[in-house]
Structure 1
Amino acid sequence: MTGSNGEKHPFLDDLADDAELRGTVLRRPVSGRDNIKRLVEAVGTLYASQQPTFYGAIDQRHFLQYLATLRTGLDLEAVGVIERDETGLVQRVTMTFAPLDAAVSLSAELGGIVGEEFGDDLFYDASVNEIAAS
């Protein structure tokens, strides 16, 4: 999934078949190259803008930071830890998002796009949280 400017994506191009994605917008990990690519593609449709602010590596761990504005107008900060094996394949990606309102909004919107495909229990759902609080 090389970008339109010809630059290699920080992790999508090198995902192992059994790679795992974890994140604050997910209730459980997502496994598998194709599933991760589909989910990241869906996230991209929810961004009005995205600006990378940092990319670096220490040994086999790579770090990605960016700012984004959701189509809902909320600003979002993201930090990713990309773990590669000795061959360079990405085994695990962990994404954190802040602030909470933007992260919850992103999760709920993802549920609306790919909830049936991945299972509605993967994303934030206000009704589930209301039931849990009662």
Structure 2
Amino acid sequence: MTGSNGEKHPFLDDLADDAELRGTVLRRPVSGRDNIKRLVEAVGTLYASQTPTFYGAIDQRHFLQYKATLRTGLDLEAVGVIERDETGLVRRVTMTFSPLDAALSLSAGLGGIVGEEFGDDLFYDASVNAITAS
């Protein structure tokens, strides 16, 4: 997946077959290049806009930071740590999202798009997390 302007994606183009994605919008890690690409594509459909604010590297660790607005209207900030091996393949991506309301909205939105494919227990579900009054 290369951007429309011909630039290489910060990590999708180099994912190892057994790469792992961890993040604040996921209840557990997701493994596998195709699964990670599918999730990243789904995230993109939930963004109304996205603006990169930083990309840099220290040795085999790359850092990505951006701001986005969800289609729900919530603003969100994301930081990604991309870990590469000695050959340059991406072995692990860890994404953090804030603030909490936007992160939960993103997780719930992902559940609506790919929940059946990945398992509904992977994403936030307000009905499961509701506190019932006694």
- 2:90 is matched with 90
RMSD of aligned C-alpha atoms? 1.4
Which deviations, in whole Å up to 9, do the C-alpha atoms of 1:32-89 show, x marking residues without a partner?
A: 0000000000000000000000000000000000000000000000000000000000
List runs of 5+ in structure 2 lacking aligned partners: none
- Alignment identity in percent? 94
Deviation, 1:10, is 0.3
- TM, length-normalised to structure 1: 0.97
Give me the whole-angstrom Cα distance separating, in 1, the residues matched to 2:8 and 2:34. 17
- TM, length-normalised to structure 2: 0.97
Change beyond 3 A, Cα 1:133–1:79: farther
List runs of 5+ in structure 1 lacking aligned partners: none
Give me the whole-angstrom Cα distance separating, in 2, the residues matched to 1:62 and 1:132. 43
Deviation, 1:127, is 1.4
Deviation, 1:101, is 0.2
Tell me how many residue pairs correspond in the alignment.
Answer: 134
Counterpart secondary structure, 1:133: coil
